[in-house]
Amino acid sequence: MNDRNSIRILADSTVAPLVRRQLTRRGFIGAVAALGAAGILTACSPGGSTTPAPGATGGEIEGDLSIYSWGEYDAPEVVEAFTNEFGAKVTMDTFASNEEMIAKLVAAKGTSGYDLVVPTGVFIPQMIENGLLAKLNLDLIPNIEHMDPAFLGRAWDPNNEYSICKAWGTTGFVYDKTVITRELKTWNDFIDAAQNEASGQTSVLDDPAPLGGIYYWANGIDWNTTDPADLDACENFLVNELAPHIAAFDSYPGGAAIPQASHVLMQVWNGDARIGIQESPDPDRWQWVLGAPDTELWMDNWALAVGAPHPEAAHAFLNFILTPENQLAQVDYIGYDTGAAGIREAAEEAGLEMLDMVFFEPEQVETMHEGKVTEAQARIVEMWNKTKAAAGA
């Protein structure tokens, strides 16, 4: 992130495959694992792909646009407004993990039919190297000028030739104050409550990395550690101490578990927590807590798929989505910071609710740390599997 007191986002790394599992959208760390360097991306070489479709030149906008993204990740009114203005009908398909998205692009070899995809930053260098992403024509996206420079020029794409920030977020937890009547502030508090008041009514993210993060963050250990002693201690904690109290592995409790109050303590991403509390019939019963003393940080990005059949519509959409008014609508709907310049001030002026769950103070950002892919990834996935087995999931 430049040399300013700003957000430190995901670092570049190498992607390898994972034995078939249902992963979450932030599962980039857990997805790297057991099979070594050869994997989803290295299985696909640029030479094996079909001839890329022509890029955008500013010509006539096609009548369709196909987007492959995370679920509930764009404001419907913004998508509808784009269609009304430009005439391009938007089709949205969703994926549950970067791995799922990448696998589909690899198998299609440039014929997926998708125009825009939304990878997490750590995957972008390998997707570029393996011919899965096409260069953007930034001349057709002048509204990129509305982005905060701190969110441009990331390590995975220094010149934004292939990607533009869509949103970034972090991890914490929510708890039901009608059941847990004491104040929870830290991951140690989360652990204690899970083993006591919330035993059998606790959910965690269905994602290897932040699952282990609970232990590491609570104990002041770098969550990217490869120390065998740290890994052993983390596994013992997850399998023998935490798992017996876990009721569910749920990456989107905001969609149902929070509104329905089906659990009382839930590890959750900030935007999803905000959605769940807003949709709860009794929002005052829920308390959001940013994971402390440390937690994670991730960033998703707009990108153009190789072979995109509607490149003009794709560029028009990106330029449209980056207008200040549409960025504001996006923030309100998804509950994540989009990286637009002045977006926090605009959200405050518009009276958007629960902005403390969307925007964070510099001292909070300092506690957030990006993940790294290390030689311990196979072990991290193994611990995740063992924890799920011990919990009966």
pLDDT at 2 over 90: no
The answer to which of 84-93, 220-229, 365-374 has the lowest mean pLDDT is: 365-374
**Class of the CATH-defined domain 169-296+369-390:** alpha beta
| Per-residue pLDDT, 98 | 77
pLDDT digits (tens, 9 = 90+) for 272-282: 999 999 999 99
Which residues on adjacent β-strands are paired with residue 287?
Answer: 175
pLDDT digits (tens, 9 = 90+) for 316-327: 999 999 999 999
pLDDT at 5 over 80: no
The answer to which of 46-55, 99-108, 288-297 has the lowest mean pLDDT is: 46-55
Q: Which fold has domain 46-53+62-168+298-365?
A: D-Maltodextrin-Binding Protein; domain 2 (3.40.190)
Identify whether the C-beta of residue 274 lies closer than 8 Å to the C-beta of residue 334.
Answer: no
Q: 55 pLDDT band (50/70/90 cuts)?
A: confident
The answer to which of 187-191, 244-248, 284-288, 369-373 has the lowest mean pLDDT is: 369-373
| Per-residue pLDDT, 43 | 39
| Per-residue pLDDT, 370 | 82
pLDDT digits (tens, 9 = 90+) for 133-150: 999 999 999 999 999 999
| Per-residue pLDDT, 393 | 67
For 250, the enclosing helix (H) or strand (E) is none
Q: How many CB atoms lie within 10 A of CB 167?
A: 25
Phi/psi of residue 139, nearest 5 degrees: -65, -25
The answer to which of 149-158, 181-190, 199-208, 365-374 has the lowest mean pLDDT is: 365-374
Which of 25, 16, 391 lies closest to 208 in space, CA to CA? 25
SS3 184: coil
Say if 46-53+62-168+298-365 and 169-296+369-390 have the same CATH topology: yes
Q: 290 pLDDT band (50/70/90 cuts)?
A: very high
pTM of the complete model:
0.81
Domain ranges for the chain, please list them. 46-53+62-168+298-365, 169-296+369-390
Q: What gap in Å lies between CA 5 and CA 329, rounded to an integer?
A: 27
| Per-residue pLDDT, 54 | 66
CA distances 20 to 46, 106, 205, 210, 307, Å, are 24, 16, 18, 19, 27
Tokens of 59: 């010509």
pLDDT, average across residues 27-41: 36
Tokens of 189: 């508090």
Give just the sign of the alpha carbon dihedral 339, 343, 345, 350: negative
Q: DSSP secondary-structure letter at 355?
A: G
pLDDT, average across residues 207-232: 94
Q: What gap in Å lies between CA 120 and CA 142, rounded to an integer?
A: 23
Which of 141, 255, 243, 152 lies closest to 194 in space, CA to CA? 243
Residue whose structure tokens are 């825009």: 116
Residue ranges of alpha helices (H) inside 74-154 are 76-86, 98-108, 124-129
With a CB cutoff of 8 Å and minimum separation 6, the contacts of 369 are: 8, 222, 223, 224, 294, 295, 296, 297
SS3 254: helix
